[in-house]
Amino acid sequence: MSQHGWRLLDVEAGIGSEAELQAATGGKWPNVVVFADDERGATPASGSAESAGMVICPCSMGTVAAVAGGTSRSLVERAADVALKERRPLILVPRETPLSLIHLRNLTTVAEAGATVLPAAPGFYHRPTEVGQLVDFIVQRVVDHMKLDLTFVTRWRSGE
């Protein structure tokens, strides 16, 4: 997780530490390892390490630009670069709006390189009544694109 990611968690959710994050997400992380963003020699930085892919959520336009440019200045950027070069799923979830022409060009570049750009733009056909349902909608889309067999929301069915 990047320093900016930690800052967002603190500002938006009041989560300021790994222990608080673990508690907020169920308390058990048998398959989760947290790496510092400056730990560029960590497992996700290597193409020979097994991985089902990567999700960057939220993904700032600065990170999109770095991934588009292949700069790999941090572990997040390097791991994204590895996902692309190894042809693994890379899902970027931008939430900025509006988008400048530079943003659009960078998003096009990462999409052409194989990333999935999945904006945090929830649907409303399921008639959400609380913010958590909007979040779950986006989480479901991410999970679906990672090909994980998990269901958080009611799926669309025509005629219903």
Which residues neighbour 60 within 8 Å (Cβ) at sequence distance 6 or greater? 4, 94, 96
CA angle, corner 140, sides to 106 and 111, nearest 5?
Answer: 20
pLDDT, mean of residues 144-160: 85
Hey, what domains does the chain have and what are their CATH numbers? 35-119 (3.40.50.1950), 122-160 (no CATH)
Q: How many CB atoms neighbour CB 5 within 10 A?
A: 17
Q: What is the pLDDT of residues 57-102, one digit of tens each?
A: 999 999 999 999 999 999 999 999 999 999 999 999 998 999 999 9
Torsional class of 94: left (φ above 0), alpha (ψ -120 to 50), beta (otherwise): beta
Q: What is the pLDDT of residues 15-69, one digit of tens each?
A: 999 899 999 988 888 888 889 999 988 999 999 999 999 999 999 999 999 999 9
Reported as type and span, the H/E element at residue 92 is: strand 90-92
Location of structure tokens 């900016």: 4
**Which pair of structure tokens corresponds to residue 77?**
């950027």
Return d(Cα 127, Cα 134) in angstroms, integer.
Answer: 9
Contact 119, 145 (CB under 8 A): no
Q: Do 38 and 78 touch, CB atoms closer than 8 A?
A: no
Residue 134 and residue 131: Cα distance in Å, rounded?
5
Whole-structure pTM value: 0.91
